[in-house]
A and B are shown apart, each in its own frame.
Chain A
Amino acid sequence: MQFFFEVLIGGLLAGVMYSLVALGFVLIYKASGVFNFAQGAMVFFAALTTVGFMSMGAPFWLAVGLALAAMAALAVFTERVVLRPLVNQPQITLFMATIGLTYFIEGIAQLAWGAQVHALDLGVADEPIGWLMDHTGMNISKFDLVASGIAATLVAVLALFFNKTRTGRALRAVADDHQAALAVGISLQRIWVIVWMTAGFVALVTGLLWGARNGVQFALTFLALKALPVLVLGGFDSIAGAIVGGLIIGASEKLAEVYIGPLVGGGIESWFPYVLALGFLLVRPEGLFGERRIDRV
Chain B
Amino acid sequence: MSEISERGKIGAPLLQVEDISLAFGGVVALQGVSFDVREHEVRAIIGPNGAGKSSMLNVINGVYHPQRGTVAFKGRRRRRVDPHEAARQGIARTFQNIALFRGMSVLDNLMTGRNLKMRCNVLQQALYLGPARREELEHREKVEAVIDFLEIQHIRKTPVGRLPYGLQKRVELGRALAAEPELLLLDEPMAGMNLEEKQDMSRFILDVNDQMGTTIVLIEHDMSVVMDLSDRVVVLDYGRKIADGTPDEVRGNKAVIDAYLGVAH
Please report A residues at the B interface, Cβ cutoff 8 Å: 294, 297
Contacts and interface: CB of A to CB of B under 8 A. Distances in A.
Interface in B73-99: 95, 99
B105 interface: no
6 contacts: A294-B24, A297-B54, A297-B58, A297-B63, A297-B95, A297-B99
Contacts of B63: 297
A129 B99 CA distance: 62
Contacts of B95: 297
A292 to B, nearest CB: 10
A88 to B, nearest CB: 14
Task: Classify the interface of chain A: helix, strand, loop or mixed.
Answer: loop
Interface string B93-131: 001000100000000000000000000000000000000
B256 to A, nearest CB: 27
A129 to B, nearest CB: 50
A294 B54 CA distance: 16
Contacts of A297: 54, 58, 63, 95, 99
Interface in B175-228: none
B87 to A, nearest CB: 15
A127 B9 CA distance: 89
Nearest to A296: B97
A294 B25 CA distance: 11
B185 to A, nearest CB: 12
Interface in B15-64: 24, 54, 58, 63
A297 B58 CA distance: 8
B52 to A, nearest CB: 14
A297 B54 CA distance: 9
Contacts of A294: 24
A294 B95 CA distance: 17
Nearest to B96: A297
Nearest to B54: A297
A294 B24 CA distance: 10
Contacts of B99: 297
Nearest to B63: A297
Contacts of B58: 297
The 6 closest A-B pairs by CB, nearest first: A297-B63, A297-B58, A297-B95, A297-B54, A294-B24, A297-B99
